[in-house]
Structure formats: C-alpha cells, structure tokens
Amino acid sequence: MKIGVIGAGFVGLVTAACLANNKNKVKCIEIEKNKIKLLKDKKLPFYEPGLKKLFDKKFNKTLFFTDNYDDVNNLDLIFITVGTPYNTKGVNLKYIENSIKDILKNYEDKKLLIIIKSTVPPGTTAYLRKKFFLQHKNLTLINNPEFLREGSAVDDFLKPDRIIFGTNQKKENLKQVIRLYKPFKCRRFVLSYEESEIAKYYSNSFFASLISFSNQFAYLSDSLPNCNFKKINETLMSDRRLNIKSSVPALKNYLVPGIGFGGSCFPKDVLGIKKTLDNKKIHNSLIKSILKVNSEAINHGLKIIKRNFDKRKIICILGASFKENSDDTRKSRTISIASKLKQLNFKFDIIDPEVKKIGSFKCQPFNKKSIKRYEYFILMTKWQEFSGLYKISFASNVKIIDFRNFFEVDKFKSNKIKLISLGSSALS
Ligand SMILES: NC(=O)c1ccc[n+]([C@@H]2O[C@H](COP(=O)([O-])OP(=O)(O)OC[C@H]3O[C@@H](n4cnc5c(N)ncnc54)[C@H](O)[C@@H]3O)[C@@H](O)[C@H]2O)c1
C-alpha cells in the first residue's frame, strides 16, 4: 500500500518506519527544515530503541522523506501524526488543520483515507469532517488513536494491545486500513469518532491518575516514621481483584510514588480532557486533582532535598529525559527540579546517557569513574545505567534521594550510602 505519514515526530517516524517494514511504500512529510534535512541525510532527530535499525534498513527503499505535499494523489491513505499541544485556550488544533489544508490544496478527486493518529479532544474528528470533508465524497476520515510509549515505541507499535478505528461514516470505508493492520495481532475495536477519541484520553488519564493516587499516599507515608512505601504497595498488589501476576508488572509501573509525571502526553492530555469537561460544564474535580497532586510532587521533592542536602556540595542529578530509554525532555520533571534548585542557590550537575542539554542546562554523559566524586545524588530517570550505583566504592559518605523508587533498598546496605526513597518516611 502507498502510505503518507504527516509529521516526522515520535509517533510519525515510528509509524512510518514500522509500516515501511511491512511491505508498504511510505512517504513521510515533514515541514520543519532542520528535521527534514537530518532525515534526508539518513539521520534520526531523536533517540528511540530499535528505530535506527528499521530506518536504516528501509531508507530510500520503502521509506522516503519530503517537505511537500505534491504526491498526495498517489497515496492510498494518509496518517496525520502532527502535534496537538496544549495552550491556555485548550488543545491547539492548528497543526492538524494546516496539514488537512495542505492535503486538500493538492488533492484531486479520488478515493483517499485520512487517518487522525494525533490525540485530539472528543468532538474534534466530527468537527474536522464537517469543516473540511463534507464536499469531498471520495475522502474518508478516520480516528485511530496511538498508544505507543516513548522508550518502547517500536515494540509497542508492532505489538499493540488494541487497535481502535473511529468512524462515523460507512464501515466499508475502513476496508483498506483494516487490511493495512492485518499483520498486527491484537483486538480491534470499531467505534464512533467520539468513542475512539474518549478511549485515548480515558487510557492516559487512567495511568496518570494511578501515579497521582500513589503519590498522594506517599506524601502521607513520608510524613510518618517507620514507612517503606514499597511494602505498602505490595499489600495492594496482592489484592486478587487487581489480578496482578508478579511476572507482569502492569499496574506496578504506574502505582509507584515519585516526583510525578512529565513528557509530551500525560500532562497535555489530562489538561486536554479537563478543558473538554470544563467546556461541557461537567464536574471535573477528579481530573483536576491528578494535576494538582502532580504539581505538588515538585514541592514535596524540594522539601526532601532541603532536609538532606547542604548547599556547599554539588548535587549529581541522575537523568534528564522524562523517562528512561528516551531523549525526550518535554515537560521532564528534571527541568522543574533543576530550575527550582538554581533559584535556591544549590549547585548541581545533570548526568544523562542520551540527553546533551535540557533547557539552559548542559548535561554530561554517564561515566562510572566521574560519578565517584559526588556525595549527593538525586535519581530522576530510571535509566538502567544508574542501577549499579550501589556497587560503586565511594570515597566518602553518600546520600541518594530516589525520586522514582528505582533502587532496591536491600542492595544499599553499605554504611557509606544512605538511600532516601520518596514515600518512605523521607520527611518524618
Ligand atoms: N509522543 C508520544 O509518545 C505519543 C504517543 C501517542 C500519541 N501521541 C500523540 O501523537 C501526536 C504527535 O506526537 P509527537 O510526540 O509525535 O509530536 P512531535 O512534536 O514529536 O512531532 C510532530 C511533528 O509534526 C510536524 N508537523 C507539524 N505540522 C506539520 C505539517 N503541517 N506538515 C508536516 N509536518 C508537520 C512537526 O514539525 C513535528 O516534527 C500528538 O497528538 C500526541 O499527543 C504521542
């Protein structure tokens, strides 16, 4: 099949490379000059495990890059994967609308499927159809939310948990996209536009709410003596109603207290659904609380830092990306913590295996030798590289604040290392 993917971001590039690997011919359209130059030079604009291998294999064979829409009439279907950032007025649909306008400028009446993969607030796909598509009888518009997670995006795309097709048009219009997704083994759902859009927000808000839920209780156990939140969490995990097998960590990845969620999706999608509920005058205090608890996580973390670290020594901040196995720093909690520490006149360095710069702060690569010179550490991102910290023989006494409940307490038995985990009596 001949496929167009609009936007070579995290979702677009992964979609394009994975589909190009499935015997399709894929053209990726990107308007940002620096990005398209990199891509045409066979370079990726970001780090994502497994992507480079697919990209190199299919580059200029079944995977092509362009900065224009000239070729839209030669395509069978087009995925729109442009950003939908949140601003004060709500989710900004400008990039989606511009890409549709550019498609239509070049479009000559022929059968074509346009698929919205970007995350859009409920009601958007119907609105877009009414605004742009009603006079084009040969154009079909579908909503097909994407659930991949950065850091495991290629794997998630190739082995999805579910595929959702949202349509308010005739089901037979879905034939081609159903055929395209045939190699993927998972459950399919044919829903309305609105159900499909809500399903995406339902999922992201659910996982974000687990993080804030866990944090709410972690703040309490930090304020009391004798608490180890890992143990408290295990009591919940053993509840058979949750059906968590120990081999499948599922909820365990989200019901973990810490410094809160960042990244390009959870913060903007929870805000997006809050705004949608606001607009519809529907009670939304539960959703608002997810954000409130998340923003409190930074102040809570600062209290722990102030209690344990003095300003004369340099702190080593471990991790800049919003999560492990990614170099994405959008809404990373490290930037929030680093900015506050700077205001408070703390001195710090930031170490990250992939990120070179975050905001105005330069990062250093991870190096076991150079790390020995620090006495204070704050763990912000769960990079595997940091997991062996307990094995390092430090010259002096060391304090580690674990903001992700990443380290196993039992491994830190050495007298020289004091491990302080958020949620475990850190402020009692
Ligand atoms: N990043 C994720 O993990 C993830 C996961 C699931 C869903 N989503 C959703 O997918 C969408 C894209 O997210 P992302 O992280 O890939 O965004 P991104 O910002 O990384 O990429 C978007 C790309 O689209 C390009 N673009 C913008 N307007 C364009 C146009 N008119 N024509 C061609 N290219 C254009 C931008 O230059 C950019 O490279 C968002 O709605 C997001 O919520 C993201």
Nearest CA to ligand 1 atom 37: 32
Q: Ligand 1: does its nearest atom lie under 6 Å from the Cβ of 14?
A: no
Nearest CA to ligand 1 atom 41: 118
What number does the ligand 1 atom closest to the CA of 11 have?
16
Q: Do domains 2-191 and 202-421 have the same CATH topology?
A: yes
Q: What's the pLDDT at 83?
A: 98
Average pLDDT of span 278-297: 96
| 13 Cα–ligand 1 center, Å | 9
pLDDT at residue 136 tops 70: yes
Q: Ligand 1: does its nearest atom lie under 6 Å from the Cβ of 267?
A: no
pLDDT at residue 192 tops 70: yes
| 143 Cα–ligand 1 center, Å | 15
Q: Model confidence at 31, in pLDDT bands (50, 70, 90)?
A: very high
| 9 Cα–ligand 1 center, Å | 5
What number does the ligand 1 atom closest to the CA of 147 have?
6
For the chain, percent of residues with pLDDT exceeding 70? 98
User: Which one is catalytic: 28, 265, 316, 363?
Assistant: 265
Angle at the Cα of 401 from the Cα atoms of 400 and 404, rounded to 5 degrees:
120
pLDDT in tens, 32-50: 999 999 999 999 999 999 9
Q: What does the mean pLDDT of the chain come to?
A: 95
Q: What's the pLDDT at 246?
A: 57
- The correct answer on CATH 3.40.30.10 for the domain covering 202-421 is no
Q: What's the pLDDT at 395?
A: 82
CA separation for the pair 323, 329 (Å, rounded): 8
CA separation for the pair 277, 256 (Å, rounded): 27
Q: What's the pLDDT at 16?
A: 98
User: What Rg do the C-alpha atoms of the chain give, in angstroms?
Assistant: 23
Q: Model confidence at 9, in pLDDT bands (50, 70, 90)?
A: very high
pLDDT in tens, 249-270: 667 788 889 999 999 999 999 9
pLDDT at residue 141 tops 90: yes
Q: What's the pLDDT at 252?
A: 78
Q: What's the pLDDT at 249?
A: 62
Range in 44-58, 82-96, 226-240, 324-338 with the lowest mean pLDDT: 226-240
**Which of 18, 30, 35, 82 for a ligand 1 pocket mutation test, highest count of atoms within 8 Å of Cβ?**
82
Average pLDDT of span 301-314: 97
Q: Model confidence at 333, in pLDDT bands (50, 70, 90)?
A: very high
Q: What's the pLDDT at 369?
A: 87
Average pLDDT of span 144-148: 98
Q: What's the pLDDT at 245?
A: 67
| 6 Cα–ligand 1 center, Å | 9
Task: Bin 397: left if φ > 0, else alpha if -120 < ψ < 50, else beta.
Answer: beta
For the chain, percent of residues with pLDDT exceeding 90? 88
CA separation for the pair 407, 404 (Å, rounded): 8
Q: Model confidence at 239, in pLDDT bands (50, 70, 90)?
A: confident
Q: What's the pLDDT at 250?
A: 63
CA separation for the pair 396, 373 (Å, rounded): 9
Average pLDDT of span 129-148: 96
Nearest CA to ligand 1 atom 21: 9
Nearest CA to ligand 1 atom 11: 118
What number does the ligand 1 atom closest to the CA of 153 have?
3
Phi then psi for 236, rounded to 5 degrees? Answer: -70, -45
Q: What's the pLDDT at 414?
A: 72
Place of tokens 């340099």: 314
Place of tokens 């009446």: 109
Average pLDDT of span 72-98: 96
Q: Ligand 1: does its nearest atom lie under 6 Å from the Cβ of 83?
A: yes
pLDDT in tens, 212-232: 999 999 999 999 999 999 899
Average pLDDT of span 107-112: 94
| 81 Cα–ligand 1 center, Å | 5
pLDDT at residue 68 tops 80: yes
What number does the ligand 1 atom closest to the CA of 265 have?
43
Q: Ligand 1: does its nearest atom lie under 6 Å from the Cβ of 148?
A: yes
Give the predicted TM-score (pTM) of the model. Answer: 0.95
Average pLDDT of span 392-397: 87
Average pLDDT of span 90-107: 97
Q: Ligand 1: does its nearest atom lie under 6 Å from the Cβ of 15?
A: no
Domain range list for the chain? 2-191, 202-421
| 110 Cα–ligand 1 center, Å | 27
pLDDT at residue 411 tops 80: yes
Topology given in CATH for the domain delimited by 2-191: Rossmann fold (3.40.50)
- In the residue annotation, 227 being an active-site residue is answered as no
| 305 Cα–ligand 1 center, Å | 35
Q: Ligand 1: does its nearest atom lie under 6 Å from the Cβ of 381?
A: no
